[in-house]
């Protein structure tokens, strides 16, 4: 079964086409700078030999519909394509950032679902509108294919009330759905399952802490297969130090910025979401550069890295306490998969919790799932490459098959 996974942003459409039954990626790419004078279309195919071919086209893409049409043209192109006809694509899986409380699992899109995603726009004003647009455009271009929405928030729907409610007047939850939702759920779910398979135990028998460290970063406490806490909140701003987001700050900070510095709400929003995190601390949001600067003796980069790791370490302790016991810590995403330095800093000093990294194993490169704890470490420490798009494709297939069965 061939499934196209789409992640639509305000000026981009990222895509991956999978042969899900064989777990094979057939093509991937992105239409970027949509609506600008010069847009960019990147299209890569993976040959059965594993060899990759990529083409890049620079020409204006007027809107998202135009973008998706061009992508489809490339997918069926006799020279660069991977399918003979678009009817061979059975379904489209869409990443939707905010499912609110309405969606606890992937869902086949119909008018009612579209309306419910629309209702969640106040909770994710930057993400849900382009996600919706992506679905609408795909429905026009693939009128005969099923569209499935896979929500970033869904994996966290099992959070108990003490983990999801904020200590503010209850009516804000009851009337306006103000609460912790959590994000990166597709990634946390994927790596938790992969970790359990690697450890050869059912996920329901394990307590895991999954640590997703990309540009955005979050952690999840996964107790017996159910997520019981996560660091992001009603929005992705909460929790860990990220590339450009502050993560946790005193909730009164915006008042200070407004009353004492005269900043507008928009300026405060931009400051905390786009100018903070690693970038705010040492001038760059790219972890490779932060590490490089630290190694060159840059004190600001050293502090940024220490703060980044310290926050993760605090949450490891918190989630250990929340779950009562811990079988494995799982690192994933760009930083988590590729930075021995960050992983070591996060685990340093946690030996009394049974978390002991093996420096040799940690330093080994590798794109596969692997163990980096010392043989004495009571808690396993794993690096698990994430694959959110594959997970979306698998979930899409699962939803479609269960629909055909009923
Ligand atoms: P996104 O959230 O955009 O999907 P990624 O998961 O690709 O992000 O992660 C991006 C981050 O991973 C960047 O900060 C980048 O510097 C970092 N990264 C990638 N490779 C390495 C590496 N070898 N060492 C340290 N950090 C890395």
Please give the number of the atom of ligand 1 that sits closest to the Cα of 215. 2
CA of 109 to the centre of ligand 1 (A): 32
CA of 335 to the centre of ligand 1 (A): 5
> According to the model, what pLDDT value does residue 406 have?
62
Pocket of ligand 1 contains residue 339 by CB under 6 Å: yes
Residue 224 has which token pair?
């017996």
Within 8 A by CB and 6+ apart from 253, the residues are 272
Mutational test site, ligand 1, from 152, 184, 212, 215, max ligand atoms within 8 Å of CB: 215
Q: Does this model's pTM top 0.85?
A: yes
Mutational test site, ligand 1, from 292, 294, 335, max ligand atoms within 8 Å of CB: 335
Pocket of ligand 1 contains residue 386 by CB under 6 Å: no
Q: Check: CB of residue 193 under 8 Å from CB of residue 395.
A: no
- Residue of 286, 306, 187, 283 whose CA lies nearest to 243: 286
Please give the number of the atom of ligand 1 that sits closest to the Cα of 289. 16
HEC readout, 94-139: EEECCCCCCCCCCEECCHHHHHHHHHCHHHCCCCHHHHHHHHHHHH
Within 8 A by CB and 6+ apart from 297, the residues are none
Pocket of ligand 1 contains residue 334 by CB under 6 Å: yes
Please give the number of the atom of ligand 1 that sits closest to the Cα of 243. 14
CA of 233 to the centre of ligand 1 (A): 22
Pocket of ligand 1 contains residue 215 by CB under 6 Å: yes
Pocket of ligand 1 contains residue 287 by CB under 6 Å: yes
CA of 308 to the centre of ligand 1 (A): 14
Q: In what order do the strands lie in the sheet with 52-58?
A: 52-58, 40-46, 24-32, 13-19, 2-8, 89-96, 146-151, 107-108
* SS3 (DSSP) at 197: helix
Q: How many residues does the chain have?
A: 406
CA of 128 to the centre of ligand 1 (A): 24
Q: What is the pLDDT of residues 265-320, one digit of tens each?
A: 999 999 999 999 999 999 999 999 999 999 999 999 999 999 999 999 999 999 99
CA distances to 57, 296, 317, 348, 375 from 352, rounded to whole Å, are 54, 32, 11, 10, 15
Pocket of ligand 1 contains residue 243 by CB under 6 Å: yes
| Active site members | 152
Pocket of ligand 1 contains residue 216 by CB under 6 Å: yes
CA of 286 to the centre of ligand 1 (A): 7
> According to the model, what pLDDT value does residue 365 have?
86
- Residue of 151, 356, 323 whose CA lies nearest to 221: 323
Pocket of ligand 1 contains residue 273 by CB under 6 Å: no
> According to the model, what pLDDT value does residue 404 have?
73
> According to the model, what pLDDT value does residue 368 have?
93
The pLDDT tens digits along the chain (406 residues) read: 999 999 999 999 999 999 999 989 999 999 999 999 999 999 999 887 878 899 999 999 999 999 999 999 999 999 999 999 999 999 999 999 999 998 999 999 999 999 999 998 988 888 899 999 999 999 999 999 999 999 999 999 999 999 999 999 999 999 999 999 999 999 999 999 999 999 999 999 999 999 999 999 999 999 999 999 999 999 999 999 999 999 999 999 999 999 999 999 999 999 999 999 999 999 999 999 999 999 999 999 999 999 999 999 999 999 999 999 999 999 999 999 999 999 999 999 999 999 999 999 999 987 899 999 999 999 999 999 999 999 999 999 999 998 877 6
Query: Which residue CA neighbors atom 12 of ligand 1 most closely?
Result: 334
């Amino acid at each position: 079964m061939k499934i196209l996974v789409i992640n639509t942003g305000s000026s981009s459409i990222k895509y991956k086409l999978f042969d899900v039954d064989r777990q094979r990626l057939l093509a991937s790419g992105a239409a970027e700078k949509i609506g600008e004078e010069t847009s960019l279309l990147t299209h890569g195919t993976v040959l059965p030999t594993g060899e990759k071919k990529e083409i890049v086209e620079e020409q204006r893409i007027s809107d998202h519909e135009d973008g998706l049409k061009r992508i489809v043209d490339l997918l069926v192109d006799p020279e660069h394509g991977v399918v003979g006809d678009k009817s061979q694509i059975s379904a489209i899986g869409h990443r939707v950032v905010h499912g609110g409380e309405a969606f606890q699992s992937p869902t086949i899109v119909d008018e009612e679902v579209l309306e419910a995603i629309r209702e969640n726009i106040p909770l994710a004003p930057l993400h849900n509108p382009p996600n919706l647009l992506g679905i609408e455009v795909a429905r026009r271009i693939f009128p005969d294919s099923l569209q499935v929405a896979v929500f970033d928030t869904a994996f966290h729907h099992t959070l108990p009330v003490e983990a999801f409610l904020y200590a503010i007047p209850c009516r804000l939850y009851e009337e306006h759905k103000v609460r912790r939702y959590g994000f990166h759920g597709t990634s946390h779910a994927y790596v938790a399952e992969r970790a359990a398979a690697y450890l050869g135990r059912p996920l329901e028998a394990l307590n895991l802490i999954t640590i997703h460290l990309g540009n955005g970063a979050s952690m999840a406490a996964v107790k017996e297969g159910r997520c019981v806490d996560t660091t992001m909140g009603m929005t992705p701003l909460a929790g860990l130090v990220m590339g450009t987001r502050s993560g946790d700050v005193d909730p009164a900070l915006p008042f200070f910025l407004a009353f004492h510095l005269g900043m507008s709400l928009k300026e405060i929003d931009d400051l905390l979401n786009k100018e903070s995190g690693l970038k705010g601390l040492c001038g760059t949001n790219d972890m490779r550069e932060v590490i490089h600067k630290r190694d060159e003796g840059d004190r600001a980069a050293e502090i940024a890295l220490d703060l980044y790791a310290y926050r993760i370490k605090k949450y490891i302790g918190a989630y250990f306490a929340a779950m009562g016991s811990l079988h494995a810590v799982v690192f994933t995403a760009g930083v988590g998969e590729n930075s021995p330095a960050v992983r070591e800093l996060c685990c340093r000093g946690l030996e009394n919790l049974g978390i002991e990294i093996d420096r040799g194993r940690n330093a080994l490169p590798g794109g596969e799932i692997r163990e980096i704890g010392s043989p004495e470490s009571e808690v396993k420490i794993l690096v698990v490459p994430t694959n959110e798009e594959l997970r979306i494709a698998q979930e899409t297939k699962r939803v479609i098959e269960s629909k055909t069965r009923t």
